[in-house]
Structure 1
Amino acid sequence: MTRDVLISGASIAGPALAYWLGRHGFRPTVVEVAPALRQGGQAVDFRGEAHLTVLERMGLLPALRRVQTGGSPMRFVDERGRTLLDLPAEFAGGEIEVLRGDLARVLHEHSAPRTEYIFGDSIAALTETSSGVRADFHSGISRDFDLVIGADGLHSTVRRLAFGPEEHHVSHLGYYAATWQLPNTLGLSRGSVGYNVPGRLASAGADHRDPARAGAFFVFAAPELTYDRRDTAQQKRLIHDAFSGLGWEVPRLLASLHQAPDLYFDSISRADVNTWSTGRVCLVGDAACGATIGGMGTGTAVVAAYVLAGELARARGDHRAAFTRYESRLRKYAEGCRTGGDRTGRFLAPATLTGIRLRNTLLSRRLLLNGMLKLGERVSSTVALPDYQIDHSRVGR
């Protein structure tokens, strides 16, 4: 019987899957390249019946409600700081919004009793055998597992090793995004305030917990760039070049960038994988079907983790049948949720002045805004969630 499962990635999908696998009697091991859980990060949200049902079945709702942000209102201004558009907290915050680091911590705490966590290491090679998968780690050790799951995001190592190069599966959507922390010398309040010129957005908002701190969020249109993902100095130069010469508070925000130790910089992209499994290796979350921003990836990840673990438990050792049923249940749903990510760059940083004015005018109409919110809730709930029964005789073996 399949028991030992290696999961790559300890952000959201990985710990969520480990939690459910442990509940079903499997022995999950999670490997994470970072030396510890990542702290902070942007706010993420859950909305709609499917997301909340899985969180309730995990017993996470009380813990998440204790750390929820209350939502993040968005305000867009002109060069002189005059408000052009106000968006309410629920527009980006869903029904529950938490910081990504808080969500990762809660998921880790709930999964840890039945999960082995390995930090500061990553998978270097995968070799499928007649009875399992041999995983070679960058630390030099090798171990055998029954299954390997890639829960390691849009730039998945498991997908690259088992399914082929990233460029075969990830499409650039024409934009880049960056975030970093800075002192709140601008007197920013809760939520974010942003300034647009065609193809660019510069925004910032106060930290949800420490009003003396703030976070910057920049988005800009660009063709696919060639850069070193480990060279933050190079990435800072790219951001500076894209925003130099702009007004509002952009010069002060760019000045803080040079001192920022925690830059996040990535393309806004989309993952498309023809099939989510090959042999004894399977993908979950953004690695399988995700978008960098705006594709409801967090909620989809916890739903997908629930279904994948449940199907593996139901299959009682037949991983091929489990992988097939998992993808059959989730693919259409995940692709529907992900389509929002295709529009994120164009919404945040429209390419023309006309586009900026049209966005501001349309979203100032409450009826249209309410319609968009309801559509998001419907899209996030268009999946039937089986009630996978827990066989308590297997748990803890």
Structure 2
Amino acid sequence: MTTNANTKTKATKAEKGKVLISGASVAGPALAYFLRRDGYEVTVVERAPDLRDTGYAVDFRGAAFDVLQEMGVLDEVRGQDTKMRGTALLDATGAEIGQLPAEVFAGELEVPKRELTRILHRLTAADVEYVFDDSINALAQDDNGVEVGFERAVSRRFDLVIGADGNYSKVRRLAFGPHSDVIRHLGMSGAGFTAPNHLGLDRSGVLQQGKGTAIYAFSAADPKSLMVSLSFATDSPALDRRSRDEQEQAVREAFAGNAWETPRLLEAMTAADDFYFSSASQIHLDRWSHGRIALIGDAGYCAAPTSGMGTSQALIGARTLARQLAEASGDHVTAFAAYEAELRPYVAENQAKGREGAAMFGG
């Protein structure tokens, strides 16, 4: 089964139906694993040309470990532990004024996101069709399936479509409405990038907070590299959709006049080839499914990075949806309703944590 030059693998025959998942980060491949195990033919479409190699380290908490264990990759994921030792709190001059324990940022286990993505892809690559460098541009469903249009490939028909494509989910926009209707901004945005480790950090981090700004930098698996986050107060997530030049300019303006290492970090930002920009936002929907289309992870119920629960929520959401489909013998109406009823209290708790974390930043 080949749809374009960037199709990575082939799925075997469908036993329970054909499912299309949009997004190949964490939630998408995790759901693909469980659905394929249960007999579905699964295709994952990803707009990036290949596996994403950017992003900070991700952490795991609570029941997420049970999901990794069930997938048979817990030991492998543990082998990528960053072994962070903690974060020093700095004043405006760079002098240390306190310490935060490792679990504040690293949870119970922290690994580089690119390593988790690679593990999940390797786990599913033999039995799941991955289509990179393409994206959904049309959805038309009826009682028997969903006709899906793509930006590059010819249209195809699936029994179910699942959006696992993040805050600005294409699936959600097409099936549920505009992003502006469901994105709730938490008052902060920021840039992330890799820089040379001129601070000499070793499996440790530094955090410097000002009024409406925060610099967080840490070095984990690669002692030569520094992961940097420059966050600042914003009124909306509008910068997420602007050009890199506009985003960089907004960062420079927010940190203008900051002393310590800020000028050097701003220079490193401009030179970085892995620059990305995002806002702390949550997704709030009255429902997570519409007919044969459903959402998981950040696409359906992002709790914001300030919650520390994004990766765990993605894994737990994927397993919950797959389990409900199995228990309902493929009856998507019953399964989608049960999935939402089971998971909503957990999501509500995590979103409350996300709002609390953003409020702490604001001082």
- Same-fold call, TM cutoff 0.5: yes
Task: Name the SS of the counterpart of 2:306 in structure 1.
Answer: coil
Q: Percent identity?
A: 44
Instruction: Report Cα offsets for 1:368-389 as digits up to 9, x if no partner.
Output: xxxxxxxxxxxxxxxxxxxxxx
1:46 aligns with 2:60: yes
2:124 to 111, 134, 138: 111
**Residue of structure 2 equivalent to 1:149:** 162
**Residue of structure 1 equivalent to 2:226:** 214
1:226 aligns with 2:238: yes
1:201–1:218 contact (8 Å) kept in structure 2: yes
Label 1:319 to 1:65 Cα distance change in 2 as closer, same or farther (>3 A). Answer: same
2:195 to 182, 186, 211: 182
**Residue of structure 1 equivalent to 2:331:** 318
Paired AA for residue 102 in structure 1: E
Q: Matched residues in 2 for 1:321 and 1:165: separation? A: 26
**Residue of structure 2 equivalent to 1:12:** 26
Shift in Å, 1:72: 5.6
Residues 313-392 of structure 1 aligned to structure 2 (within 5 Å): 313-347=326-360, 349-351=361-363
Instruction: Report Cα offsets for 1:101-127 as digits up to 9, x if no partner.
Output: 111111111122221000110000101
**Residue of structure 1 equivalent to 2:12:** none
Shift in Å, 1:305: 0.5
Label 1:225 to 1:25 Cα distance change in 2 as closer, same or farther (>3 A). Answer: closer
Paired AA for residue 44 in structure 1: V
Q: Matched residues in 2 for 1:335 and 1:71: separation? A: 29
Paired AA for residue 41 in structure 1: G
Shift in Å, 1:188: 2.8
1:264 aligns with 2:284: no
Shift in Å, 1:262: 1.4
Residues 190-201 of structure 1 aligned to structure 2 (within 5 Å): 190-201=203-214
Q: Matched residues in 2 for 1:14 and 1:71: separation? A: 27
Instruction: Report Cα offsets for 1:26-61 as digits up to 9, x if no partner.
Output: 11110000011111421111122x211111111111
Q: Matched residues in 2 for 1:80 and 1:224: separation? A: 30
Label 1:180 to 1:105 Cα distance change in 2 as closer, same or farther (>3 A). Answer: same
Paired AA for residue 42 in structure 1: Y
**Residue of structure 2 equivalent to 1:384:** none
User: What do you get for the CA RMSD once the two structures are aligned?
Assistant: 1.5
Instruction: Report Cα offsets for 1:173-222 as digits up to 9, x if no partner.
Output: 1111221111122323322112221110122222x222122111111112
Task: Name the SS of the counterpart of 1:214 in structure 2.
Answer: strand
Task: Name the SS of the counterpart of 2:267 in structure 1.
Answer: helix
Shift in Å, 1:236: 0.7
Structure 2 unpaired stretches of 5+: 1-14
Residues 83-122 of structure 1 aligned to structure 2 (within 5 Å): 83-122=96-135
Q: Matched residues in 2 for 1:329 and 1:59: separation? A: 24
1:308 aligns with 2:321: yes
1:71–1:94 contact (8 Å) kept in structure 2: no
Paired AA for residue 47 in structure 1: R
Task: Name the SS of the counterpart of 2:245 in structure 1.
Answer: helix
Q: Matched residues in 2 for 1:247 and 1:199: separation? A: 15
Task: Name the SS of the counterpart of 2:65 in structure 1.
Answer: helix
Q: Matched residues in 1 for 2:310 and 2:92: separation? A: 33
2:240–2:279 contact (8 Å) kept in structure 1: no
Label 1:72 to 1:116 Cα distance change in 2 as closer, same or farther (>3 A). Answer: farther
Moved over 3 A (4+): 225-228
**Residue of structure 1 equivalent to 2:4:** none
Instruction: Report Cα offsets for 1:85-104 as digits up to 9, x if no partner.
Output: 20111222122111111111
1:29 aligns with 2:49: no
Task: Name the SS of the counterpart of 2:200 in structure 1.
Answer: coil
Task: Name the SS of the counterpart of 2:104 in structure 1.
Answer: helix
1:177–1:220 contact (8 Å) kept in structure 2: yes
Task: Name the SS of the counterpart of 2:187 in structure 1.
Answer: strand
Q: Matched residues in 1 for 2:42 and 2:313: separation? A: 20
2:286 to 254, 274, 286: 274
Label 1:227 to 1:51 Cα distance change in 2 as closer, same or farther (>3 A). Answer: closer
Instruction: Report Cα offsets for 1:299-330 as digits up to 9, x if no partner.
Output: 01111101111111222231100101111111
TM-score between the two structures when normalised by the length of structure 2:
0.92
Paired AA for residue 34 in structure 1: A
1:161 aligns with 2:174: yes
Task: Name the SS of the counterpart of 1:239 in structure 2.
Answer: helix
Shift in Å, 1:158: 0.5
Paired AA for residue 246 in structure 2: Q
1:283 aligns with 2:295: yes
**Residue of structure 1 equivalent to 2:10:** none
TM-score between the two structures when normalised by the length of structure 1:
0.84
Label 1:158 to 1:175 Cα distance change in 2 as closer, same or farther (>3 A). Answer: same
Label 1:2 to 1:133 Cα distance change in 2 as closer, same or farther (>3 A). Answer: farther
| Number of equivalenced pairs | 348
1:294–1:338 contact (8 Å) kept in structure 2: no
1:135 aligns with 2:148: yes
Paired AA for residue 167 in structure 1: S
1:221–1:345 contact (8 Å) kept in structure 2: no
Paired AA for residue 87 in structure 1: L
Shift in Å, 1:332: 0.9
1:252 aligns with 2:257: no
